Amino acid sequence: MTTIIAGIDVGNSTTEVAIAQLSDSHTAPRFLAASRVPTTGIKGTLSNIPGMVLALRRAAEAADMSVGEIDLALLNEATPVIGDIAMETITETIITESTMIGHNPGSPGGMGIGVGQTVHLKNLVAVKRGEPVIVVIPREYDFEVAASLIRRALEAGVDVQGGIVQADDGVLIANRLPKPIPLVDEVRLIEQVPLNMLAAVEVGEHGQVIRQLSNPYGIATLFDLSPKETQMVIPIAKALIGLRSAVVIRTPEGDVKTRRIPAGTLKLVGETQTVTVEMDGGSEAIMAGLKKVGRLNNVTGEAGTNVGGMIERVRQTMSDVTEKPLSDVRIQDVLAVDCLVPQQVAGGLAQEFSMENAVGLAVMVNTDQLLMQRLALALAQEIGVRVELGGVEANMAILGALTTPGIDVPLAILDLGAGSTDAALMVRGKPVKSIHLAGAGNMVSLLLQRELDLPTGTNVDVAEEIKSYPLAKVESLFHIRNEDNSVRFFKEPLDPRLFGRVALITQNGLVPIPTQHTIERIRTVRREAKRRVFLRNSLRALEMVAPLGNLRNIEFVAIVGGSGQDFELSQMLMDELAIYGTVVGTANVRGELGPVNAVATGLVLSYHEKRKAGKAA
């Protein structure tokens, strides 16, 4: 008797279906079709039904049948995981009084460094011969007028060392002067620039960054600071690193300081002990605390802080979808990651930004099996087909991964999804050992979005695309330079709008990235984000399933899941695990699907094995 089986894997980000035909218990299943669609709603809740129905319809159409012809649908038994991610900034730079720090306009004028007393443009005529000054140029002075007045002052012997310009006229003014001087423009709040104060202006050469004002000892040299005063300018130097232009003005009472924001605490409740960790200790302190407590039973955050709000939001969401009391919802895992995020400097005059320390958190809540049973019942009513729970997600993923040509047990798998990282180990004759951890692809996207300050609220998730595709710089209309420094030429001219831009190499061609960051910066941030999330969590998960907790006892690792399609992840993991003698590769489910559909395929194979053993209905 022929039976049509559908395996359904509901993930945090995607829902996958595999349809197969089973003729008898001795013949291997014949797979007819597969599909993959975005998950609707939170994994494991009734809002998943539309996504599952769509995935079933698409797979059925590919198999040239209707959904009603399916005899049995199997759902993975994974307890739903609700993950949330938040970013907690733990430092900020504040300017008091009138001290001004870094500014990085798109086109400053001139180059070099100048030091002198700030003076208004209209007062240049009153400056003594040979006196070094930094001229302040408000918007009402046209660039021709400003350049003419500076020229006359230079001819009269005034030592004009540089300028601070309100309008975007830096280059226009610099081009009309007899000698190159640094001009920083687009300083919006120029009326707040203090006059008759010692100031330094620096503009780097084209393609280079400033050197003197981003060095604390450089600032100390220019302003003749004492060792104690030099310590106080460290936040200034830190804020100016990587900029092409900057201004620092010394005022008698002005101060720039880095303030640590009270970021709250996390209380990690484990089986053996409870540890309270300060968020401003960074990710290392949080993850060290997690190791101390052993198996995690719950996490609570300090009330009135961002992290406390995030923890409560996750628990409240879980309470709403499970209809459980809030007190019964417990967090089972946490992943903390350090990062640097651009934050506007409080008290700045030109909307300056400083890179501040932040901690990203991913948390996970496990619930009981009742939700999945309720979901199976609702799906059965929706499609008119018998629906059962088929097997534990990690076990099913291993069965699916084993359909990869050339693979065999003993085998460990890494299932890298959007919200969670799973690992499982299969050794012949022993039960499968598995673990489920918080943090995966969504966390990487958050880090990219925050560190690169990418636009949000658009139809296209820029961070997600940067995570998924390699980069290139469009150097002419006929060639690009890839991120590995190789060059590719084109017969037909590229879109002129791409010229000079950093772009993503996608299946649909080159897509420009809406950011001013260099290709090197974007690549570094992307790889670091993957290293801090994917690699850290993969090692953490594999250690938990490895015999004796030793990674050297794992010989083969196969990567499955949506993030397994990442163009560089398997190579990064291979490099990381090479020191343990572990072989890493991306699974190719059924020899044709790549790393996806492993769980859905495994559900079908598991049912076939049960039927062979006489345990399936």
Q: For position 145, which CATH number holds?
A: 3.50.30.70
Distances (CA, A) of 462 to 87, 173, 502, 515, 527: 18, 37, 13, 10, 16
Which pLDDT score, from 0 to 100, does residue 85 have? 57
Whether pLDDT at 62 is above 60:
yes
Q: Estimate to the nearest angstrom the gap between the alpha carbon of 505 and the chain centroid.
A: 19
Q: Decide which of 209 and 123 is more confident.
A: 123
Angle between helices 536-545 and 569-577 (to 10 degrees): 50
Whose structure tokens read 């979005």?
Answer: 449
Q: Which residues neighbour 512 within 8 Å (Cβ) at sequence distance 6 or greater?
A: 497, 498, 501, 502, 503
Burial (CB < 10 A; 0-12, 13-18, 19+), residue 228, is exposed
Whether pLDDT at 153 is above 60:
yes
Q: What does the chain come to in residues?
A: 617
Could you tell me if 137 and 271 lie in one domain? no
CB atoms within 10 A of CB 41: 14
Which pLDDT score, from 0 to 100, does residue 355 have? 64
Which pLDDT score, from 0 to 100, does residue 34 have? 96
pLDDT confidence bin for 537, thresholds 50/70/90: very high
pLDDT confidence bin for 84, thresholds 50/70/90: low
Of 143-152, 226-235, 278-287, 550-559, least confident by mean pLDDT is: 226-235
pLDDT digits (tens, 9 = 90+) for 545-592: 999 889 999 988 999 988 888 889 989 999 999 898 888 999 999 999
Element housing 445 (H / E)? helix 441-451
pTM, two decimal places: 0.76
CA distance 286 to 276: 9
Residue type for 475, please? Answer: E
Number of H helices, E strands in the chain: 16, 29
Q: Mean pLDDT for the chain?
A: 85
pLDDT digits (tens, 9 = 90+) for 436-485: 888 888 889 888 988 888 877 655 588 889 999 999 999 999 999 999 99
CA distance 157 to 434: 79
Number of domains composing the chain = 4
Range of the domain at 344: 84-90+261-366
Could you tell me if 374 and 362 lie in one domain? no
Could you tell me if 433 and 572 lie in one domain? yes
Q: Which three-class secondary structure state does DSSP give residue 581? A: coil
Could you tell me if 477 and 570 lie in one domain? yes
Q: Which is nearest to 127 in space by CA: 164, 157, 151, 147? A: 157
CB atoms within 10 A of CB 221: 14
Q: Estimate to the nearest angstrom the gap between the alpha carbon of 595 and the chain centroid.
A: 22
Could you tell me if 502 and 613 lie in one domain? no
Terminal Cα distance for the chain, rounded: 13
Residue 56 belongs to a domain: yes
Percent of the chain with pLDDT over 70: 88
Whose structure tokens read 């506007």?
Answer: 344
pLDDT confidence bin for 12, thresholds 50/70/90: confident
Q: Which CATH number is 300's domain given?
A: 3.90.470.30
pLDDT confidence bin for 233, thresholds 50/70/90: confident
Element housing 585 (H / E)? strand 583-586
Could you tell me if 532 and 563 lie in one domain? yes
Q: Which three-class secondary structure state does DSSP give residue 212? A: coil
Which pLDDT score, from 0 to 100, does residue 79 have? 57
pLDDT confidence bin for 98, thresholds 50/70/90: very low
CA distance 421 to 568: 17
Which pLDDT score, from 0 to 100, does residue 97 have? 41
Residue 154 belongs to a domain: yes
Range with top average pLDDT, 188-197, 334-343, 467-476: 467-476
Could you tell me if 118 and 230 lie in one domain? yes
What are the helix (H) ranges across 295-403? 306-322, 370-383, 393-401
Residue 374 belongs to a domain: yes
Whose structure tokens read 């417990």?
Answer: 330
Range 320-347 average pLDDT: 76
Among 191, 220, 255, residue at a domain's last position: 255
Which pLDDT score, from 0 to 100, does residue 436 have? 86
Q: Decide which of 324 and 383 is more confident.
A: 383
Which pLDDT score, from 0 to 100, does residue 342 have? 67
Q: Which residues neighbour 285 within 8 Å (Cβ) at sequence distance 6 or greater?
A: 277, 278
pLDDT confidence bin for 348, thresholds 50/70/90: low
Which pLDDT score, from 0 to 100, does residue 262 have? 60
Whether pLDDT at 42 is above 60:
yes
Residue 6 belongs to a domain: yes
Provide the 8-state DSSP code for 409: S
Of 68-82, 256-270, 332-346, 390-404, least confident by mean pLDDT is: 256-270
Which pLDDT score, from 0 to 100, does residue 322 have? 67
Whether pLDDT at 488 is above 70:
yes
Does the N-terminal peptide bond of residue 410 adopt cis geometry, omega within 30 degrees of 0? yes
Residue 164 belongs to a domain: yes
Range 259-281 average pLDDT: 80
Could you tell me if 191 and 69 lie in one domain? no
Tokens of 577: 């695990």
pLDDT digits (tens, 9 = 90+) for 358-380: 788 888 876 666 778 888 999 99
pLDDT digits (tens, 9 = 90+) for 396-428: 899 999 999 988 888 999 998 888 888 999 988
Could you tell me if 186 and 208 lie in one domain? yes
Residue 211 belongs to a domain: yes
Residue 591 belongs to a domain: no
Among 239, 255, 271, residue at a domain's last position: 255
Percent of the chain with pLDDT over 90: 44
Residue 480 belongs to a domain: yes
Task: Please report the sign of the dihedral spanned by the C-alpha atoms of residue 42, residue 45, residue 46, residue 51.
Answer: positive
Burial (CB < 10 A; 0-12, 13-18, 19+), residue 234, is middle
Could you tell me if 582 and 605 lie in one domain? no
Range 66-93 average pLDDT: 71
434 forms beta bridges with 424
CA distance 73 to 379: 9
Whether pLDDT at 253 is above 90:
no
93 forms beta bridges with 258
134 near 199, Cβ under 8 Å?
yes
Could you tell me if 60 and 203 lie in one domain? no
Q: Which CATH number is 40's domain given?
A: 3.30.420.40
Whose structure tokens read 């399933």?
Answer: 545
Which pLDDT score, from 0 to 100, does residue 96 have? 45
Range 485-512 average pLDDT: 93
Could you tell me if 7 and 123 lie in one domain? no
Q: Decide which of 277 and 353 is more confident.
A: 277
